[in-house]
Amino acid sequence: MGIMFPVHSRQMNFLQWIGAKLSPSDTKPESTGDVYRLIQVSQALLTSEEYEKARALLLPAIASRDRLQDPVVINYILRALEATWLFTERYEDGIEFFSQYISAYPEDFPAYQARAATLWYAGRLQEAIRDYSRALELNPSDILSLSGRGQVLAELGENARAMEDLNLALQTLKTVSTPASSWAEWYKQAEAFVRNGRGFALAGLGDREPAMQEFEQSITLSSENA
């Protein structure tokens, strides 16, 4: 007999939300092995920018949240789902999903970071800052939350506060060890993102030459930041 997991009311609400979003052809994975297969296929779809198809696999995968023991896997699924909503500009759908998820799993910091990103792109900047701050309460060294909050603060003209977050994000990037060579590109893109934010904040502070240097480094790391 398989292990039974207790289901709290807020978790049940989240599972009901998931069920309402899945098509009749979607099935909940029967094992963690099935979840890993869904992740592998969805990763290929994300690489080929087939975001809707990737989401259709990631939603059933995260529906097995209670069976997943590896926080790295949970974090990947949440951030991959974030990307599917950001790159298709379906921000409100993303906000709705992560709100339901947070109600069920309020200690999963990547969900706050992901909702913050969708709030940011939806133009709801103060709400985005609150979510980034909550993510950082749960994980003070989360690079994406530090960088994201810094960028939003810069957009709001709070450039000194923005630089505090962005400097810490850059410092964390420089000190953390890369878990595997396959992550090297992620860290490179993350640094480009942080330096772009630093350039924006420095420009807001009137430090134009250092700002231009940050933009140049960002472009060098990722030409898409031009």
Q: What is the pLDDT along the chain (226 residues), one digit of tens a residue?
A: 333 334 444 544 544 544 455 444 455 554 567 888 898 899 899 989 999 999 999 999 999 888 888 898 899 999 999 999 999 999 999 999 999 999 999 999 999 999 999 999 999 999 999 999 999 999 999 999 999 999 999 999 999 999 999 999 999 988 876 555 656 777 888 899 999 999 999 999 999 999 999 999 999 998 876 6
* pLDDT for res 176: 74
5 located within any domain: no
SS3 state of residue 180? coil
Residue-number span of the structural domain to which 24 is assigned:
12-131
Give the dihedral sign, CA 140/78/67/108. positive
152 located within any domain: yes
Q: What is the CATH number of the domain that holds 156?
A: 1.25.40
Q: Are residues 111 and 192 in the same domain?
A: no
What is the distance between the alpha carbons of residues 22 and 34, in angstroms, rounded to a whole number? Answer: 17
145 located within any domain: yes
Q: For the chain, how many structural domains are there in total?
A: 2
> For the purposes of burial, counting CB atoms within 10 Å of the CB of 207, is it exposed (0-12), middle (13-18) or buried (19 or more)?
middle
* pLDDT for res 182: 57
In Å, how far from its chain's centre is CA 71?
14
Give the dihedral sign, CA 11/112/73/40. positive
* pLDDT for res 68: 85
Q: Are residues 123 and 34 in the same domain?
A: yes
Check: CB of residue 134 under 8 Å from CB of residue 149: no
Global pTM?
0.83
**Six-digit token pair at 211?**
């700002």
78 located within any domain: yes
Given 69, 99, 131, the domain boundary residue is: 131
